[in-house]
């Protein structure tokens, strides 16, 4: 897969360019928002409780007088950290399991795929809640719970690709000239598996973020005073009738970010289909 050609292809469309622009704005807000804000992420000001949006507080303040804009932008950083960490773990685990199972086959393939099927048998969100609840609500348990539930589909995807690749003539020729199995895996099989798994990972990034906010909403994610979006929406739901801005901006941040990541994943998938 030629990534430079993919980048050029994505920039040719106004929709794809808009998605990339939105993503750049989100990343910029996550990096610079808490830095340029004059307020601390956890700074409490009892005298400024429930202030509506204004020039001083663009997103208003919460029940502790904390600036919601600062917390929403800091929450973007946290949500992206969780999503990228989960994706990195699942890509590595899924890639290794799929490579080994597809390349060696036989008993190794049978055992690894039955373990994979075991994880795929459970609804991912239910399993994630059970794991996060067992370890207690925290950033670590959120990443662990989602990583454990997400890797199996990647293992299946990579295995299918390796089963296709290992029958190719150049792989058979590599074996015939005495190349070791490890070298064949790294040099010939791995490059062919990277394309689809990266595309699938980008496509899943928004779903992972949404799942992490759900865990936060039900109280199984990072706890106060952490500015986790799902937890912020959950906490603000009791004040929705009188202070609409409390939950509105964190909910809007979730919607815009997840939508942007989903559109990015769809466009990258279409690019891979046309150029893969």
What is the predicted pLDDT for the residue at 198? 80
What is the predicted pLDDT for the residue at 179? 73
Q: Tell me the average pLDDT across 5-14.
A: 66
How many angstroms separate the CA atoms of 160 and 182, rounded? 19
- Across the strands, what pairs with 61? 67
Which has the closest alpha carbon to 151: 229, 222, 85, 76?
Answer: 85
pTM of the model: 0.86
Write out the two tokens for 99. 């490579």
Cα–Cα–Cα angle for 63, 66, 67, nearest 5°? Answer: 120
Task: Report in angstroms the alpha-carbon separations of 193 from 81, 96, 164, 225.
Answer: 25, 11, 10, 41
Give per-residue pLDDT as tens, 61-110.
999 999 999 999 999 999 999 999 999 999 999 989 998 898 888 899 99
How many angstroms separate the CA atoms of 88 and 213, rounded? 18
Is 30-275 a CATH 3.90.1150.10 domain?
A: no
Give per-residue pLDDT as tens, 10-45.
667 778 788 888 999 999 999 998 888 999 999 999
Give per-residue pLDDT as tens, 239-259.
988 899 999 999 999 999 999
């Amino acid at each position: 897969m030629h990534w430079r050609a993919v980048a050029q292809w994505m920039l040719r469309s106004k929709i794809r360019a808009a998605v990339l622009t939105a993503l750049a704005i989100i990343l910029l807000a996550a990096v610079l928002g808490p830095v340029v804000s004059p307020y601390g992420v956890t700074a409490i000001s009892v005298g400024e409780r429930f202030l509506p949006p204004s020039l001083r507080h663009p997103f208003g303040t919460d029940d502790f007088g904390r600036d919601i804009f600062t917390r929403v932008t800091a929450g973007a950083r946290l949500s992206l950290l969780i999503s990228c960490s989960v994706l990195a773990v699942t890509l590595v685990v899924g890639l290794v399991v799929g490579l080994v199972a597809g390349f060696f086959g036989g008993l190794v393939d049978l055992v690894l795929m039955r373990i994979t099927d075991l994880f795929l048998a459970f609804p991912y969100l239910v399993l994630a809640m059970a794991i996060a609840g067992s370890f207690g609500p925290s950033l670590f348990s959120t990443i662990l719970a989602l990583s454990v539930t997400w890797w199996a589909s990647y293992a299946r995807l990579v295995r299918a690709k390796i089963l296709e690749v290992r029958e190719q003539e150049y792989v058979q020729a590599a074996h015939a000239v005495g190349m070791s199995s490890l070298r064949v895996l790294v040099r010939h099989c791995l490059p062919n598996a990277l394309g689809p798994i990266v595309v699938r990972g980008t496509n899943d990034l928004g779903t992972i973020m949404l799942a992490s906010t759900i865990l936060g909403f039900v109280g199984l994610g990072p706890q106060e005073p952490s500015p986790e979006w799902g937890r912020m929406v959950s906490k603000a739901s009791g004040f929705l009738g009188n202070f609409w801005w409390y939950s509105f901006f964190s909910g809007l941040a979730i919607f815009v970010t997840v939508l942007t990541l989903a559109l990015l994943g769809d466009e990258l998938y279409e690019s891979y289909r046309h150029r893969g």
